[in-house]
Structure 1
Amino acid sequence: MARERWDPELLPDLSGRSYLVTGANAGLGYFATEQLVRAGAGVVMTGRSPNRLATARAALHRRVPDAEPWQIETLLLDTSNLGSVRAAAATAGMRRRLDGLLLNAGIVHPPRERRTTADGNELVLATNVLGHFALAGALLTTLAAGGGRMVWVGSVSTSLWRYDPIDPQLAEGYTAWRAYVQSKVATTALGFAADRHLREAGVGVSSVVAHPGYAIRGRTPGILGVNEPSRGKRFVDNLQSPIAQSKEHGAWPLVRALVDPAIEGGEYWGPRWVTHGEPRRQTAAAITRDDEVAERLWHAAEDATGVRWPLAKAARVRR
C-alpha cells in the first residue's frame, strides 16, 4: 500500500533513473517531464513534431537551469502511426534500462467526423490506445531489465458515461465524445489487464493507471511555446476554479503512479477530490475493471496492431 505522506512538489531523488514520456511537448506530458527532471531523472520526451519537441526542451532548460543536457532527450513518436511507434521503440529499446513508461499522448478534442489512420484504425483509438499498447509491448523487455513500470493515463469521464466499447473502432455510431470516452475506457481496462498478464507470466514489470482529474489550460502557468492560453480562455477557465486545476497539478497523480515505489501494479490513482487535489489511490469505474471487457479489448488491440507482448521473453530477463 502506498504511503499517504507524499509531497508532489518535493519528489524523492530520482538521479540515475530513466523514463520515457509520450506527448511530452505540452500539457500533462510536459509538466510530468518537468517534475521528473527537477527530481534528477533522465527523460526521453516524445512527440510527433520536431519543432514542438525542441521548443519544449528549451523551455525545460530555462525552467530547470540545473538540469544536465543528458537528462533531456527528444524522440519523434506519433502514437497514431504504428510505423512511427515501431521506429521509436527500436531506438528507445537500445537503452540498457528504462525505469518507467508514461503513456500520456492522446487526442482530447476528437474530430466531429470519424477519421482513420494510414493503418486503417479509427484515429482516436489509434492515438490514445493502440499506439501505446504497441509501444508498451515493444519496450517490455527493456522495462523488465530495470524492473520498471508502465503508467496508462485514464480519465474521470469513464465514471460519468458507461460506454462499453463493443465496437472499439466505432464503425457505427461515431461521435467525438463517445470516441474519447471509449478510448479512455479501453486505456484503463488495458492498463489493468496488462498488470494481470504481467503477474501471471512472472514479468518483473508493474502496470498502473492514473488520471489527472479536470486539468485545464487556462489554469496552467504560461510557458512560451508550451502553454499559451488566450485571455478569454484564462477568464473562462478561472470561473471553473472550484472544480478544476492546472495541467501542472494534473500531472501529480501520473508522476506519483510512475515513481512511488510503494505503489503496486493494478492500482488506480487520481486527485484527492476526483477533479482536483493531491494524488490519492482511487477506485476505477466498474466497466474498466470487468475482466471480460478487458480481455476482449486486449485481443482487439493485438489484432489491430499485430503486436503480441513478449511475456515469456520478458519473464526471463534478469534485473
Structure 2
Amino acid sequence: MTRAEWNPRELSDLTGRTYVVTGATKGLGFFSCDQLARAGAHVILTGRHPNRLVTARAALVHRVPDASVETLLLDTSKLGSVRAAAATLRARGALDGLLLNAGVVHPPRARETVDGNELVLATNVLGHFALAGELLQPLAAGRGRMVWVGSISTSLWKYDPVDPQLVTGYTPWRAYVQSKIAATALGFEADRRLRATGVPVRSLTAHPGYSMGGRTIGIRGVNEPSRKKRFLANLQAPVTQSKEDGAWSLVRALTDPEAESGDFWGPDRVTRGLPRRAKAAAVTRDPAIAERIWNLCEEATGVRWPFAKAARAAR
C-alpha cells in the first residue's frame, strides 16, 4: 500500500489479527485501539488501573459496537506486573503486534519505582524492553511486529549516557525527553538484532507529532479536558492535532504491510498530518548509544531477549 493509498480512516481488514496495546485507557493508546478495532482486529487493552480499564473497554465498545476486545492489567513501571502480564499473553499463542505506548509525561513527586529505577525511565523504557523480550516468541510465531513510541522532543535535548537514571540534575522534562531518546534508540537496535539473528519480527518506531487532549473528542472517563485546556489547545491549532490523529502514525507502523522493520513514522507536517516515513534524531540512530542503552535495560530488568528460541518458534 503506497502512501497515496493509505487512508487512516479506512484501514484494511484486520480480522483474525491480535494486537496488544500498552497504556490503552487514555490518549494515543485508546485511539489506537479504536482504530484497530474498527478494522476488525482483536485488541487487548492493557493498563495499570482496573477501573480505568473497565471504563475504556466500555467506551470502546460504545464507539465500535462489534469490537473484539479484552483487557489485561499491566503496569510497565513494575517489573513484576510486566512478567505476570507477559505470562498471560504467552499462553494465548501467536501475536500479530505489540504497541509499546504506555508512558509518563508529567511524573508525580515519587521519582523511584518499587524496583529502584527512575519512574519515567521505568515506565517509558524499561517495562517495554522487558515486555517486548518476554513476548518475542509469540510475536515471532505470528511473524508480527513491535512499535516503539518516540517523540519530536528527541531533537530538542542531548542524551546523557553517563547518568541515564538521572541521579543528578533531574527535571521532569529531562526525564521525559531522555526516555523517548532511549525508546527510539531501542526500536532501531531491536531491528538490528532481530535481523542479525534471523527472527521474523519487525521493530519500528513512530511518533504522534504534537497531539493534545484539548483538541480531542470528549469521552467520559477517557478524555475530559477542561474548558481552559480546550481554549489553550485551540490557540495552538495551526501546529497541533488531536490524539485520534496522533494515533495514525502508530497504527500505520503497526499494520501497514509496506512498513519495514527499522522504519520511523510520523506526521507529514512533523507536528500534525498524515503518517509518513520520517527521519529520527541523530542521537537515536547512533548504534554505540543504542548498545549502551540496551545493556542498561538488560541490567536493570534482568531480561535477555530469547533470540534463538524466537527464531525456532517461527519455523
Q: Corresponding residue for 1:201? A: 197
Q: Corresponding residue for 2:11? A: 11
Establish whether residue 146 from structure 1 lines up as the match of residue 142 from structure 2.
yes
Establish whether residue 169 from structure 1 lines up as the match of residue 161 from structure 2.
no
Letter in 2 for 1:7: N
Which residue of the other structure, out of 259, 262, 266, is the alignment partner of 1:266? Answer: 262
1:70-219 maps to which residues of 2 (within 5 A)? 71-111=68-108, 115-219=111-215
Identity of aligned residues (%): 70
Change (3 A) 1:2 1:140: farther
Distance, in Å, in 1 between the alignment partners of 2:61 and 2:241 is 25
Letter in 1 for 2:288: E
Q: CA deviation at 1:168?
A: 1.1
Q: Corresponding residue for 1:226? A: 222
Q: CA deviation at 1:316?
A: 1.0
Alignment check: 8 A CA contact 1:137 1:310 kept: yes
- Aligned residues: CA RMSD: 1.1
1:266-305 maps to which residues of 2 (within 5 A)? 266-305=262-301
Deviations 1:25-64 (A, max 9, x none): 1000000000000000001100000000000000011111
Q: Corresponding residue for 2:34? A: 34
Distance, in Å, in 1 between the alignment partners of 2:4 and 2:90 is 34
Distance, in Å, in 2 between the alignment partners of 1:165 and 1:157 is 17
Distance, in Å, in 2 between the alignment partners of 1:165 and 1:84 is 27
TM score, norm. by length of structure 2? 0.98
Q: CA deviation at 1:114?
A: 6.5
Change (3 A) 1:281 1:139: same
Distance, in Å, in 1 between the alignment partners of 2:314 and 2:165 is 38
Alignment check: 8 A CA contact 2:199 2:314 kept: no
1:232-251 maps to which residues of 2 (within 5 A)? 232-251=228-247
Q: CA deviation at 1:109?
A: 1.1
Unaligned runs of 5+ in 1: none
Distance, in Å, in 2 between the alignment partners of 1:105 and 1:14 is 23
Distance, in Å, in 2 between the alignment partners of 1:284 and 1:127 is 22
Alignment check: 8 A CA contact 1:218 1:237 kept: yes
Q: Corresponding residue for 1:317? A: 313
Distance, in Å, in 2 between the alignment partners of 1:177 and 1:239 is 22
Deviations 1:184-237 (A, max 9, x none): 000000000000000000000010000000000100000010000011110110
Establish whether residue 306 from structure 1 lines up as the match of residue 302 from structure 2.
yes
1:196 is paired with a residue whose SS is: helix
Q: CA deviation at 1:110?
A: 2.2
Q: CA deviation at 1:302?
A: 0.2
Distance, in Å, in 1 between the alignment partners of 2:193 and 2:156 is 28
Letter in 1 for 2:27: G
Distance, in Å, in 2 between the alignment partners of 1:47 and 1:181 is 22
Alignment check: 8 A CA contact 2:245 2:273 kept: yes
Deviations 1:259-293 (A, max 9, x none): 00111100100001000000010000000000000
Q: Corresponding residue for 1:52? A: 52
Q: CA deviation at 1:163?
A: 2.5
Letter in 1 for 2:77: S
1:222 is paired with a residue whose SS is: coil
Distance, in Å, in 2 between the alignment partners of 1:151 and 1:226 is 23
2:5 is paired with a residue whose SS is: coil
Distance, in Å, in 2 between the alignment partners of 1:40 and 1:145 is 21
Q: CA deviation at 1:102?
A: 0.1
Q: CA deviation at 1:318?
A: 2.4
Q: CA deviation at 1:139?
A: 0.2
Q: Corresponding residue for 1:63? A: 63
Distance, in Å, in 1 between the alignment partners of 2:195 and 2:110 is 37
Distance, in Å, in 2 between the alignment partners of 1:254 and 1:166 is 30
Distance, in Å, in 1 between the alignment partners of 2:51 and 2:161 is 35
Deviations 1:119-164 (A, max 9, x none): 0100000000000000000000000001000000000000122233
Distance, in Å, in 2 between the alignment partners of 1:208 and 1:2 is 17
